[in-house]
């Protein structure tokens, strides 16, 4: 199933001193979603944003907020991020984050958000195959999570392709989102493998012209 590519700039790479302006700029430049990485310093080494920053981003954004919870026990925070303005809530599949993945994804839908599940580079597809029917989005990390600006891991391409085949075989149509080292040079291979949502941080916010950067990624896909 062919889909138009969606571009989700990651605000982790934005200029935090002018965050509202940055959000408005990438939306005007053609962004489809705004990607927000939530890091707690436990599941991943770094700390990023909390609900108050998501709420501030929501005041400037008109596009959906694609919120990735890289945190321990996301079930304790779902309502707070929903109330802050998250449109999508993506949770990690690894037991180091939550041991009740089915329940958490079901709860995200109950709260009125689009549920997503995330797999890290070393995480096998088998860990999520029994919850695929619960999600609208599968996020495949193509770098190890926790820091921006890392290089794309091409060994993740077979995983993306296998996920797309599995979903097609089951008659499921979730978005397959890819995050990590994505720019105009790497996006073609990820889209050919089956991805249809591209997260890019430094590839967009690190470019002198956001519109040209987003157009180049879209054209390359």
Is 87 known as a binding-site position? no
Is 43 known as a binding-site position? no
Is 203 known as a binding-site position? no
Is 206 known as a binding-site position? no
pLDDT of residue 175: 98
pLDDT of residue 146 exceeding 90, the answer is no
What SS3 string covers the chain? CCCCCEEEEEHHHCCHHHHHHHHHHHHHCCCCCEEEEEEECCCCCCECCCHHHHHHHHHHCCCCEEEEEECCCHHHCHHHHHHHCCCEEEEECCCCCCCCHHHHHHHHHHCCCEEEEEECCCCCHHHCCCCHHHCCEEEEECCCCCCCCCCCCHHHHHHHHHHHHHHHHCCCCCEEEEECCCCCCCHHHHHHHCCCEEEECHHHHCCCCHHHHHHHHHHHC
pLDDT of residue 2: 63
pLDDT of residue 77 exceeding 90, the answer is yes
pLDDT of residue 127: 97
Query: Mean pLDDT for the chain?
Result: 95
Q: Classify 6-220 by CATH class.
A: alpha beta
The residue ranges of every structural domain in the chain are 6-220
Catalytic residues: 37, 179
pLDDT of residue 183: 86
pLDDT of residue 147 exceeding 80, the answer is no
At residue 41 the predicted structure's pLDDT band, cuts being 50, 70 and 90, is: very high
């Amino acid at each position: 199933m062919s889909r138009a590519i969606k571009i989700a700039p990651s605000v982790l790479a934005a200029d935090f001193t002018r965050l509202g302006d940055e959000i408005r700029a990438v939306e005007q430049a053609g962004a489809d979603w705004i990607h927000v990485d939530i890091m707690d310093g436990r599941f991943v080494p770094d700390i990023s944003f909390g609900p108050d920053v998501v709420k501030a981003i929501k005041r400037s954004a008109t596009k959906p907020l694609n919120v990735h919870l890289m945190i321990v026990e996301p079930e304790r925070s779902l309502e707070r991020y929903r109330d802050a303005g998250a449109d999508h809530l993506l949770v990690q599949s690894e037991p180091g984050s939550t041991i009740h993945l089915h329940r958490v994804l079901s709860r995200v839908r109950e709260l009125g958000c689009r549920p997503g599940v995330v797999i890290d580079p070393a995480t096998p597809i088998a860990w999520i195959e029994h919850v695929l029917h619960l999600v609208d989005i599968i996020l495949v990390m193509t770098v190890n999570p926790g820091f921006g600006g890392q290089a794309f891991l091409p060994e993740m391409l077979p995983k993306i392709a296998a996920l797309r085949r599995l979903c097609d075989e089951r008659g499921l149509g979730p978005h397959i989102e890819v995050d990590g080292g994505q720019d105009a040079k790497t996006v073609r291979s990820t889209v050919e493998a089956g991805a249809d949502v591209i997260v890019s941080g430094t590839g967009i916010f690190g470019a002198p012209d956001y519109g040209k950067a987003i157009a180049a990624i879209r054209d390359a896909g």
